Amino acid sequence: MALKKLDKDTIIAMVLVSPSILAVLIFVYGFIAWSVRVSLSNWIGLLPDYEFIGLGNYLGLLKDPRFHIDVRNTLVFTILFVGGCLFLGVGLAILLDQGLRGESFFRSLFLFPMAISFIVTGVVWRWLMNPAMGSRMSGLNLLFDSLGLDFLVNKWHTTPNWGIAAIAIPAIWQMSGYTMALYLGGLRAIPESLREAARVDGASEIYIYRRIVLPLLWPVTLSAMIILGHISLKVFDLIIAVAGKQVALDVPSVYMWTTTFDGQFYGRGASIGILLLLSVAVLVIPYLYQTLREESTT
Amino acid sequence: MRARVADAPRRPPTRAWLYILLLIMSIFYLLPMYVMLVTGFKSFDEVSLKTMWNLPSGLALDNFVAAYNQLAPHLWNSLRLVIPTAAISAMLGSINGFVLTRWRFPGADIVFPLLLFGMFIPYQSILIPLVQFMRTTGLYGSIPGLALTHIIYGIPITTLTFRSYYITVPKEMVEAARIDGAGLLETYYHIFLPVSAPAFVVVLIWQFTAAWNDFLFAVVLTSPENWPITVALNNLAGSQIIAWNVQMAASLVAAIPTLIIYIFLGRYFLRGLMSGALKG
């Protein structure tokens, strides 16, 4: 009797959950395998062509100057974006942890950009970072100029070679509040008794932060670096919204999109997609492995 | 709270500096909102790049009307996309999360890591097969095709969010229901579903925002008449014909739905972010 009941429940459970699991297996893992197959083909043009050409597309990217720009831009962007978010995030979290008035208001204020799409952010910052000079000056440059901060006036994303650095500014604007929230969670988890004990021993507040609080926040920093790092590898819409499709500001995700859907180079596009996946996997899988192991031991 | 009691009377000058720092940071986060608002409310005659930082002399709605006229069909497209996406995602997530909490099936140890990693993949790595699939099924270009995409790629996060919530339901309650003879479905309906409201809110908000703000899937999978708001806004911003002041107003119009959700349900929004990013 009990066995029969179990069987019925098992069948219901399978019926309920298998469509979703199948969908993920097909649409995520099956499609990844399919992309790998496309990346090993010479498919150019609208009609699929699966003729096997080995690693040709990947080797082509190694010699492709545009892909070199992409890798460099991604590196510059990642360092500035992750670094900026961590710096602002931990700073704001410590600031908000001082028991100031209006704490929850400011917390919401720093966090609200998270709710907005990268497209909206990009369109607005495109005007804030308007690079026009002289009589056509506007945006932040105009503001700097009228405040007497002329030395800050710059060409933003049109700066030769370093334009990608300007794209990190709206990205930091959008994601630093989130980083702050991660750090605030970490700060709140540190027992107050620990800090109290250090105070009793005569430690200064700065000493307490440097020697006790920041080291204890290391796990938060690590997760934040991985989450922000994988966002930065995937950055796409923000660049499109600020600057459109410019080779100077190209990154792999934009290259994949334009070469595949504008240029019809499906084989090359797939190989860029797979390289992106590999870079995200290298970053994320050790972290997920660690998280899952911790979860199963607790 | 604790620090206020101890420090406030002792070190007032430092605290003044802290507030100044807080205000400076607030300006950085508010600048884009300020530009969108002051530009949006200027009349067409008053708009000029030279005076873009000045306050408007009155509250004109020219820009918003122009922006709305440009975007109205796409706002509607976004709603048609986002509402079914969020609803179906939440129902699927709830059922999946429940079954995976209650039922240790063979292969469960493989399914969780696979689901978890599915949240992080760059969608460029599945984009070509996805387009081929949509073309073959005739869903290419349409809103239902885009909604289906968001629902499927949302399965990992919605399932795992519900699962991490359902794990906290006391075992005794489930055990008691089992002794009373409740089957799997009765257990879900009488024990899990009634306490699910917070998880539903988190997942609904998460999927609403994700689908509303998405650009990559939308730009690849929809035809111009079905463009959701993000693609239409980006297109508007790239055109030479639409003045920048209308673009500012349009940006605000595109941001308002998710901003409203954030303002009223912000703490759930945050919980969604945390569960999505940290624990999975």
SS3 annotation, chain B: CHHHHHHCCCCHHHHHHHHHHHHHHHHHHHHHHHHHHHHHCCCCCCCCHHHCCCCCCCCCCHHHHHHHHHHHHHHHHHHHHHHHHHHHHHHHHHHHHHHHHHCCCCCHHHHHHHHHHHCCCCHHHCHHHHHHHHHHHCCCECHHHHHHHHHHHHHHHHHHHHHHHHCCCCHHHHHHHHHCCCCHHHHHHHHHHHHCHHHHHHHHHHHHHHHHHCCHHHHHHECHHHCCHHHHHHHHHHCCCCCHHHHHHHHHHHHHHHHHHHHHHHHHHHHHHHHHHHHC
Say whether pLDDT at B139 is over 90: yes
- The pLDDT of residue B5 is 46
Residue A220 has phi, psi (to 5 degrees) of: -65, -45
Residue A162 in tokens: 């370093």
Tell me what pLDDT residue A2 has.
47
Q: How confident is residue B105, by pLDDT bands cut at 50, 70 and 90? A: confident
| Share of residues in chain A with pLDDT > 90 (%) | 70
Average pLDDT for B9-32: 85
Q: If contacts are CB pairs under 8 Å, which of residues 273-292 in chain A contact chain B?
A: 273-274, 276-277, 280-281, 284-285, 288-289, 291-292
pLDDT bucket at B1, cuts 50 / 70 / 90: very low
Domains of chain B: 2-51 (no CATH), 63-279 (1.10.3720.10)
Q: What value does the mean pLDDT of chain B take? A: 89
Q: What is the pLDDT at residue A298?
A: 58
Average pLDDT of the segment spanning B37-59 = 88
Mean predicted confidence (pLDDT) in A74-81: 98
Q: What is the pLDDT of residue A296?
A: 72
Residue A291's pLDDT is: 80
What does DSSP assign to residue A283? Answer: H
- By the 10 Å C-beta count (0-12 exposed, 13-18 middle, 19+ buried), A57 is classed as buried
For residue B183, give the nearest of A8, A113, A261 by CB distance. Answer: A8
Tell me what pLDDT residue B200 has.
94
- Region of poorest pLDDT, from A137-146, B21-30, B80-89, B99-108: B99-108
**Mean pLDDT across chain A:** 92
Confidence of residue B279 (pLDDT cuts 50, 70, 90): very low
* A101 SS3 class: coil
Tens of pLDDT, residue by residue over A125-143, are: 999 999 988 888 888 999 9
Name which of A242, A244, A249, A243 is nearest A122 in CA terms: A242
In A, residues 204-243, which contact B (CB 8 Å cutoff)? 223, 227, 230, 233-234, 236-237, 240-241
Res. A1: pLDDT tops 60: no
**pLDDT tens digits, residue range B143-198?**
999 999 999 999 999 999 999 899 888 888 888 888 888 888 999 999 999 999 99
Q: What is the pLDDT of residue A9?
A: 84
Tell whether the model's pLDDT for residue A6 goes beyond 70.
no
Structural domains of chain A ordered from first start:
40-297 (1.10.3720.10)
Q: Which chain B residues are closer than 8 Å to A27 by Cβ?
A: 126, 130, 152-153
Task: Please list every residue in chain B whose beta carbon sits closer than 8 Å to the beta carbon of residue A237.
Answer: 215-216, 230, 234
- pLDDT above 70 as % of chain B: 92
Cβ contacts of A284 on chain B, cutoff 8 Å:
117, 120
Question: What's residue A199's pLDDT?
Answer: 87
List, for residues A37-63, the tens digit of each pLDDT value: 999 999 999 899 999 999 999 999 999
pLDDT digits (tens, 9 = 90+) for A210-242: 888 999 999 999 999 999 999 999 999 999 999
Task: Report pLDDT for A205.
Answer: 84
More confident residue, B183 or A24: A24
Of A14, A27, A276, the CB nearest to B122: A276
Are A260 and A79 in contact, with CB atoms under 8 Å apart? no
Task: Give the model's pLDDT for residue B274.
Answer: 63
How large is the average pLDDT for residues A78-107? 94
Between CA B31 and CA B28 the distance in angstroms is: 6
Residue that wins the pLDDT comparison between A100 and B242:
A100
A:160-179 residues touching chain B, CB 8 A cutoff: 173, 177-178
